[in-house]
Amino acid sequence: MDIVGFLKSQFICHLLICYIFIVSGLIINFIQLFTLILWPINKQLFRRINCRLAYCISSQMVMLLEWWSGTDCTLYTDPASYPKYGKENAIVILNHNFEIDFLCGWNFCERFGVLGSSKVLAKKELSYMPIIGWMWYFLEIVFCKRKWEEDRKTVIQKLLNLRDYPEKFWFLIHCEGTRFTEQKHQISMKVAEAKGLPKLKYHLLPRTKGFAVTVQCLRNVVSAVYDSTLNFRNNENPTLLGVLNGKKYHADLYVRQDVPRDEQECSTWLHKLYQEKDAFQEEYYRTGAYPAVPTTPPRRPWTLLNWLFWALLLLYPLFKLLINMINSGSSLTLASFAFVIIIASVGVRWMIGVTEINKGSTYGNNDNKQKRK
């Protein structure tokens, strides 16, 4: 292992990265709170400012993938569609198989300049999560309880509010509703069998209601639906902890474009889409490539520059405080600092744990339990 790789694997480096992310994130959340006074005065200015503030947070995560880990991202797509990416509003369908698939989705957004304004359909619990959850609140992210009877009215209203959004945006959606596991897959295929739908080998059965409503509500502002299928070469199993350790992965993303036309067609179209995604997945496992032209979108410097800005701003006072504490020689002060380090370590591990598959949502499992009652 070279010296750079060794340093990337050290916990003290991870702690400093997380310190910068947490402190800068809370500062930005605090600034976002004050932007609320703009909403009744100039809603579009409020939105533009919060897109840039949100970029300061989310780009730090992308920086880890692009610059710290050095992960390669190859895009497979139709050359005719490529020039449109980032220049039109779009709904992006993502598969949900890996611990860092959300990060690769953000990387896709960053390469085409829409990271700060990107939207998601997220579970309500995430809105209470400091930094990212709070950032999403100011971005007008669509949160749901994943109980359609309770969500429908709220989701529709929030989607309709995005029709006059001043920035180009991509709306990222996991139509499977939860991350793939073998247990959830077995349950999902039992549902497919009961409904007379074709079974899938590599995906869960897509949930069509949320997708159909999203398409209908955003029809006048969204130009296309991008179906994206993510895989990693050599059967890599990427994790956020691996990225933090500086491990380099090789991501392949297949993107194709289409537009379903009405609510009934959305349901049929989506089921057909996932059957095709299964076939593409099979092809990828067999050949190691997708049936499209590979290209590598240029990596932009802004994620790194943003992180360096916050690092220079926040590390100096931290080191100065640490030196003063050591010079003081107070055992109570040093013990307090050690306690803070322990708490920070636990916090870092908790944040990483949020992305781990074995600690993921039980959403698909709970659905099955409800049907048995």
What CATH code is carried by the domain that includes residue 255?
3.40.1130
CA distance 369 to 190: 13
Average pLDDT, rounded, for the chain: 86
pLDDT grade for 268, boundaries at 50, 70 and 90: confident
pLDDT grade for 234, boundaries at 50, 70 and 90: confident
**Do 27 and 313 contact (CB within 8 A), yes or no?**
no
Tell me whether residue 120 is in a domain.
yes
Burial class (CB within 10 angstroms; exposed 0-12, middle 13-18, buried 19+) of 135: buried
| Of the candidates 353, 355, 333, the residue with the CA atom closest to the CA atom of residue 345 | 353
Is residue 371's pLDDT more than 80?
A: no
- Hey, what are 176's tokens? 């499977």
| Of the candidates 90, 92, 108, 78, the residue with the CA atom closest to the CA atom of residue 224 | 90
pLDDT of residue 240: 87
pLDDT of residue 181: 86
Tell me whether residue 204 is in a domain.
yes
Tell me whether residue 316 is in a domain.
no
pLDDT grade for 366, boundaries at 50, 70 and 90: low
> What percent of the chain is predicted at pLDDT more than 70?
87
- DSSP letters spanning 72-126: EEEEEE-TTTGGGTTSS-EEEEE---STTHHHHHHHHHHHTT-TTT-EEEEEGGG
CA distance 118 to 91: 10
Q: Between residues 167 and 365, which one has the greater pLDDT?
A: 167
Tell me whether residue 68 is in a domain.
yes
Count: domains in the chain? 1
> What percent of the chain is predicted at pLDDT more than 90?
49
Lowest mean pLDDT across 34-38, 283-287, 296-300, 351-355: 351-355
Tell me whether residue 313 is in a domain.
no
Considering the entire predicted model, what is its pTM?
0.88
Tell me whether residue 163 is in a domain.
yes
pLDDT tens by residue, 143-161: 887 777 778 888 899 999 9
Query: What is the average pLDDT across 104-110?
Result: 94
Is residue 360's pLDDT more than 70?
A: no
Quote the domain boundaries for residue 199. 3-303
Lowest mean pLDDT across 103-117, 310-324, 351-365: 351-365
